[in-house]
A and B are shown apart, each in its own frame.
Chain A
Amino acid sequence: MYRVVKKRLLAPAIALLEVDAPAVAAKVEPGQFVIVRVDELGERIPLTVMDFDREKGTITIVVQNVGYSSALIIAMNEGDKFEDFVGPLGVASEIENHGTVVCIGGGLGIAPIYPIARALKNAGNHVISVLGSRTADLLILEEEMRSVSNEVVIATNDGSKGVQGFVTDGLAEVLAQGHQVKVIWAIGPMIMMKAVVEYTRPLGIKTIVSMNPIMVDGTGMCGACRISVGNETKFACVDGPEFDGHLVDFDLAMKRLAYYKDEENRAKARLECDHEGGHH
C-alpha cells in the first residue's frame, strides 16, 4: 500500500506522484487533502489531492520542493512507498451549478484547483480558469486545465506567456469581457489569495480560498492549523480547508506560517550536508 505507481516532473522542483491508496481513492472528493509521512522519522505533511482514480485505487498529488520533507517526497521514485498516507481529510468543495465560475490557480495552486474545476464543469458550470506563474517554464498542468475549462487565461509575472502580471490581472481581463461571474475559487500562495480577495471584495463576488496552514494531525486534535475567519477561530483541517476568503484574516495566517522558520532552516542545512556526505 501507499506505493508510488507513477512519477512525473512537471517543473524543475515540482513532481506529480500517483500513489496506490484504494480506500482513500474510494472516498475522496475535490477539495480534500491527505497527510503523508515519508518514513519513520518523518513529519506529517498535508497535500491536496490533485486527482483520483476510484477504479485503479490511486490518488495523485503534486508536490513542490520548499524544504526538507518536500525534498524527500519529490526524490521518491516509482515503486517507493510512503510510510503513512491518511485521508481523505477536510471538507469537500461545495459543487453545484452556479452558472459562470472562475477558477484561479497560482503556481502550485493549479494542482488543487484542477479537480474542483473539473467537478464544476461536470456540474454544468461555464468554467473560466485563470492560471498564473512567475514565468512560462513554471506553469504546470496547462493541458489538463484546458481539458476541464471552457476558457483559460494565463498570466505570468514576466510576461513570457499570456497576460503580463499577476492572476488578478488575468481576472481583470475576464471580468472586463462582461462575464456574470457568480463564484470564484482561488488557490495558491497565501499572498496571492489575499490579493484576489482584496480585488473581489469591492466587487462583491463570492470568493472561496483553500487555506494551507501548518498542520500536525489533520483531525481537529491539536489546533496547530487554527486560523481566524470572521473573527472566529477555526481549525482548517476539519472546518476547511476551504473558507469564504472575504472573512479570512490572511495577515495572521501568513505570520503563523513563519512559526518554524529557524527549524526549517536547520533541517534544510542538514539536507544539504546529507547530500554532500552522500547519504540520501
Chain B
Amino acid sequence: MAEIVEKPKKVKIPRHAMPCQDPKVRAHNFEEVATGYTQETAIEEAKRCLQCKKPKCITGCPVEVLIPDFIAKIAEGDFEEAARVLKIKNSLPAVCGRVCPQESQCEAKCILGIKGESVAVGRLERFAADCGMKAGEVEFEKVAPTGKRVAIIGGGPSGLACAGDLAKAGHAVTIFEALHVAGGVLMYGIPQFRLPKEIVQTEITNLKKMGVEILTNQVVGKITSVDELMDNGYDAVFIGTGAGLPYFMEIPGENLNGVYSANEFLTRTNLMKGYKFPDYCTPVKVGKNVAVLGAGNVAMDSARTALRLGAENVYIIYRRSRNEMPARNEELEHAEEEGIQFRLLTNPVSIQGDERGWVKSLTCLRYELGEPDASGRRSPIAIPGSEFDIPMDTVVVAIGQGPNPLVTTSTPGLVLNKRGNIVADEETLMTSKPGVFAGGDIVTGAATVILAMGAGKKAASGIDQYLKAK
C-alpha cells in the first residue's frame, strides 16, 4: 500500500461521482437520495488527494477538520481510523459530510480545484463517518468530573457540539430542548431523503453515553428561565436556540388554507412523519400545483418534499436569477433532475383564494436584472404591467427565519442586535450576562450546520475557561 502516498503523476483521475437513486424513482420516495461511495470508490477518490504540505482545504473548513490526514487513512483502507481522525475536530461528521456547502468551503480551497476538480472531501467525510458508525461503540475516555454543571438551551447542532466538548472536559451537562426530540433543524427541517434521522439519533445516543443529560419538552422561557437555571445550581448556560421564527412575505392571501411556512410544512413531514399519515397521526397536505417561494436550502427541501408527497407541478419562485440562488449546488442539481420547475426573475404579489378560503392561484410579477447594487449583485427590478396568474393549490413560504424571542425576551440584561440576535464576544461567545454564552443561528442569523457546530465548540472552550477561572 506504499504507492498511495506517492503523488499521482500525469494521469488525471476524474473526481468520482456520487451514486444516487434514479431521479424518477426517488421523486416518489423518502429514502436517501445519495447512496454513498463504495469502499473501492472511496479509496480511489482518496488517492486523488495530493496530501499537500500546507493543505489549503483546511482553511476553508470552519472547524479545521484534519482533511489530508483522514483522507490518507481512507486511502490506506483504515476507515475506522479515518472516522476517529474526523471526530477530533468535527463532532457530527456523518451530518456535515451530507449537508455542508462544500463547494464554498473545504472543496473551494482544494488545490486540485484550481485547474480541475477538487477532491470530494464531503463525500469522503460521509463515507468515513458512516464506516465509523457501522463499527459501532465509540470508546470514551473517562474524565474526572469537575463538579461544575452547565445548562444548554436547545438541542440543535450548536447545543449538541457544545455539550459534547463540555462532557469531554468533565463538566456535567444538561440539554433543555423544547421539542419532543433533540436535533434541532437536523430533525425537524432537513428531510429524511437528504439526512436520515437515524444518523442524527445515533449521534445523540453517543452524547448520552458520554453522560450528557437530555431533557425534552422543556420550553425555556416558560417552564424555566436562564436566570432560574443560574440560580438553581448551573455554573454556566449556553443558548443555542437557532433561527426558528418563520418570516412571511406579508402579501394578501397568506393566511388562506393551503399556505404553509416552510417550517410548518417540513416539521409536519419530517418531525411528525406526516408522509406516513395515517400510520403517524399528523397530516400534511399538498395539492396538484405547489409553489415554493424562495431559493435557499429550505426552499429546495420544501419543493422536493412536495414532489414526494404527490404534487404534480412544483415551482420554485424566485425574484433573482439562477446565479444568486443560495442553495447548495448539489440540492439545485438534484431538484432539477427530479423535475422541479424554476420560475426565476418572478416575484409573488398576492395569493388568490376561493370562497371556502383555499388557495386558488398565485399572482406574480416578472423582473429583470438591473445595475449591480452595493453588494455587487445585479438587483432585480419589477417590469411594470407584467402581472400573471398561475393556478395553485399549495404555497410554501421559504424566505427565511429569524430568532425566536421566547428565551431572549425572558432574560433581562441580555444584549441583542437590532434584528433580535444575541450579541456574544467573538472569542469566548460570552454574552452581556456573565456565565451566559450563546452561539449558532441565534447569534449569526440563519447560517449553516458546520458554523453552528463550530460555535458550539468555541463556546464550550469559552465556558471551560470561565469555569476554571471561577
Chain A residues engaging chain B, CB cutoff 8 angstroms: 23-24, 27, 37, 41-44, 68-69, 83-89, 216-224, 226-228, 233, 238, 252, 255-256, 258-260, 262-264, 266-267, 270
Contact = CB atoms under 8 A, between A and B. Distances in A.
Contacts of A228: 255
Interface stretch (B15-23, B68-76, B260-268, B458-466): B260-268
B432 interface: no
B357 A252 contact: yes
B401 to A, nearest CB: 9
B180 A220 contact: no
A233 B248 contact: yes
Given A84-B180, A223-B263, 4 more contacts: A86-B217, A219-B179, A233-B255, A260-B283
Contacts of B216: 84
Contact of A255 (B261, B263, B272, B357): B357
Interface string B263-295: 110011000110001111111010000000000
Contacts of A267: 278, 281, 283
16 contacts: A37-B180, A41-B280, A44-B272, A69-B281, A84-B180, A86-B219, A87-B222, A88-B223, A216-B268, A216-B282, A221-B263, A226-B255, A255-B257, A255-B357, A267-B281, A267-B283
B264 A88 contact: no
Nearest to B355: A255
Contacts of A41: 273, 279-281
B223 A27 contact: yes
Given A86-B180, A222-B261, A260 B223 contact: no
5 tightest CB-CB pairs across the interface, nearest first?
Answer: A255-B357, A263-B283, A222-B264, A223-B261, A221-B244
A89 B224 CA distance: 12
B308 to A, nearest CB: 17
Contacts of B267: 216-217, 221-222
A142 B208 CA distance: 49
Given A43-B272, A221-B404, A84 B255 contact: no
Contacts of A218: 219
Contacts of B273: 41
B55 interface: no
A217 B87 CA distance: 33
Nearest to B244: A221
B52 interface: no
Nearest to A268: B278
A258 to B, nearest CB: 7
Contacts of B179: 217, 219
Given A222-B263, A255-B357, A260 B217 contact: no
A42 B279 CA distance: 9
Nearest to A86: B217
Contacts of B404: 219-221
Contacts of B280: 41
A259 B244 contact: no
A171 to B, nearest CB: 29
A266 B357 contact: no
B423 interface: no
A88 to B, nearest CB: 6
Contacts of B257: 255-256, 258-259
A85 B285 contact: no
Q: Of residues A42, A89, A218, A222, which shows the largest number of chain B Cβ atoms within 10 Å of its Cβ?
A: A222
A220 B244 contact: yes
B13 interface: no
A189 B224 CA distance: 32
Given A216-B264, A256-B255, A222 B246 contact: yes
A257 to B, nearest CB: 10
B24 interface: no
Contact of B357 (A221, A256, A263, A270): A256
Contact of B223 (A24, A84, A256): A24
Given A41-B280, A86-B217, A220-B244, A263 B285 contact: yes
Contact of B254 (A24, A43, A233): A233
A46 B224 CA distance: 20
Given A86-B180, A217-B267, A233-B248, A255 B356 contact: yes
A217 B178 contact: yes
Contacts of B217: 84-86
Contacts of A220: 244-245, 404-406
A68 B188 CA distance: 23
Contacts of B281: 41-43, 68-69, 267
A216 B261 CA distance: 12
Contacts of B356: 255, 258
Nearest to B216: A84
Nearest to A68: B281
B228 to A, nearest CB: 10
A217 B265 CA distance: 12
B251 to A, nearest CB: 11
Nearest to A258: B257
Contacts of B218: 23
A258 B263 CA distance: 20
A83 B180 CA distance: 9
A263 B356 CA distance: 17
A42 to B, nearest CB: 5
A39 to B, nearest CB: 9
Nearest to B215: A23
A263 B248 CA distance: 26
Interface string B417-448: 00000000000000000000000000000000
Q: Of residues B282, B285, B405, which shows the largest number of chain A Cβ atoms within 10 Å of its Cβ?
A: B282
B245 A259 contact: no
B286 to A, nearest CB: 12
Contacts of A68: 281
Q: Of residues A83, A218, A224, A227, which shows the largest number of chain B Cβ atoms within 10 Å of its Cβ?
A: A224
A222 B406 CA distance: 14
A267 B280 CA distance: 10
B274 to A, nearest CB: 9
A262 B257 CA distance: 13
A68 B277 CA distance: 12
Contacts of A88: 222-223
Contact of A221 (B245, B255, B260): B245
B246 A223 contact: yes
Contacts of B223: 23-24, 27, 87-88
A221 B270 CA distance: 14
B402 to A, nearest CB: 10
